[in-house]
Amino acid sequence: MTPVLELFPPGAAVAEGGDLVVAGCRLRDLAAEFGTPAYVVDEGALRERAREYRDELGARWPDALAIFASKAFPCTAVLRAVAEEGLGCDVAGAGELVHAVAAGVDPGCIYLHGNAKTDEDLQRAIDAGVGTVVIDNFDDIDRLERLVRGEQGVLVRVIPRVRPDTHAAVATGQDDSKFGLAARDARRAIERVRGSDRLRLDGLHVHIGSQILDTAPFARAVQALAALGEFAVYDLGGGLGARYTWADHPPTVGEYLDVLVGAAREHLPASARLIVEPGRSLVARAGVTLYRVITVKRGPRTFVAVDGGMADNLEVSLYGQRFEATVADRVGGGEPVDLVGRHCESGDVLSAGVALREPRVGDVIAVPATGAYCFTMRNGYNGARRPPVVFVRDGDARVVVRREGYADLLRLDT
């Protein structure tokens, strides 16, 4: 029982009678009230993790800011919670910017990313007063010089030639990355921006990927920035991995920041401002997805099929990410089964070979560590209705994103 509990939000426990409880709420009760599939977020755990990043970074570097990589969970309520704890956020396009503005994030602490920013993306950012645009290519410079009427702060994204040990789809710091500029081109971009009367060069940005469980590549990326000179701001990106299974052992926030800030002290000017961009590692553990078992099929393999799948958790099919799971009132242990979704793809598998205790039709299944990239990649495959987001805290539950209705599936028809 203990290993799987460690993957749920801090404080999760098994109540008398066997029910799994998160933030004072029985998960079976939440499934009954809000339906399934449903994304459940422990608001207290989310806020605590944001404060941990804020405080641990501030204790190590005098002028520093943590900004949430909103693509990990671009939900207005999530952005509002982390902003209230003192974090900024980064956005990759106008859609994420809309959520950040609605959440009340200080525009000066919003950073606009993207390898293919459109005129609309940039104009909306300028109109919203976004503090920093991260330049990814020379076309960004051309567009900004055409659109900006006053002065716009920018960073130049640099390819550090660092390839971390992670899935190829989420590695971004290697030579052939579609993101950023190689050192020679970065120097050209720096000179162009310095010569602009509308763009203010604040510094450099680097990001080497996601779900990284080793700290050494982060230090190498910092060293690569130092070769380009001294600047007022260094955005060191994010990428710290989350714990999805009990076999995963990601560094703690403190261990990660010790390496990152240690490299900054060695290679960067002490007067500079440091930015870090936690995403997955900030929100993953705060999230739990609830499903209900629809059928159990026994044969050479035992399939436990639920009422969700790749429409609400695409990470398994897309990245091969491993998730654990448990029956919500029979926690931990049991027989190995394939927990599968309801969608018409053989690849619609939520967790292969996961242990479930006596699974049967009607059971509520809880999948931990789903706070990152599940909500953001939800989709309408097979006409699936996108699940709600339910915040839980101190025994109370509230819907912050409603479930799609069938009428919503037709709302854009003309």
Structure confidence at residue 331 (pLDDT): 96
Q: Angle at the Cα of 354 (from 352 to 355), degrees rounded to 5?
A: 155
| Best CA proximity match to 66, nearest among 285, 218, 283, 282 | 282
Q: Angle at the Cα of 283 (from 28 to 76), degrees rounded to 5?
A: 90
Tens digit of pLDDT for each residue in 316-327? 999 999 999 999
Please give the Cα distance from 385 to 99 (Å, whole number): 21
Tens digit of pLDDT for each residue in 23-70? 999 999 999 999 999 999 999 999 999 999 999 999 999 999 999 999
What's the token pair of residue 370?
């789903």
> What's the alpha-carbon Rg for the chain, to the nearest Å?
22
Which residue has tokens 């970074």? Answer: 57
Tens digit of pLDDT for each residue in 273-286? 999 999 999 999 99
Q: Is 70 exceeded by the pLDDT of residue 1?
A: no
Structure confidence at residue 135 (pLDDT): 98
Average pLDDT over residues 99-112: 98
2 pLDDT tier (thresholds 50, 70, 90): low
Q: Is 80 exceeded by the pLDDT of residue 191?
A: yes
Average pLDDT over residues 354-378: 97
Catalytic residues: 344
Please give the Cα distance from 75 to 375 (Å, whole number): 8
What's the token pair of residue 289?
């997805």
Average pLDDT over residues 119-147: 97
- Secondary structure E strands in 58-185: 64-69, 88-91, 110-112, 132-135, 152-157
Please give the Cα distance from 272 to 63 (Å, whole number): 7
Write down all domains in the chain, each with its CATH number in brackets.
2-35+286-410 (2.40.37.10), 44-281 (3.20.20.10)
170 pLDDT tier (thresholds 50, 70, 90): confident
Model confidence, pTM:
0.96
Q: How many CB atoms lie within 10 A of CB 147?
A: 15
Structure confidence at residue 89 (pLDDT): 97
Structure confidence at residue 47 (pLDDT): 98
Q: Is 80 exceeded by the pLDDT of residue 160?
A: yes
Cβ atoms of residues 83 and 111 within 8 Å: no
CA atoms within 13 A on the CB side of 289: 29
Cβ atoms of residues 101 and 125 within 8 Å: no
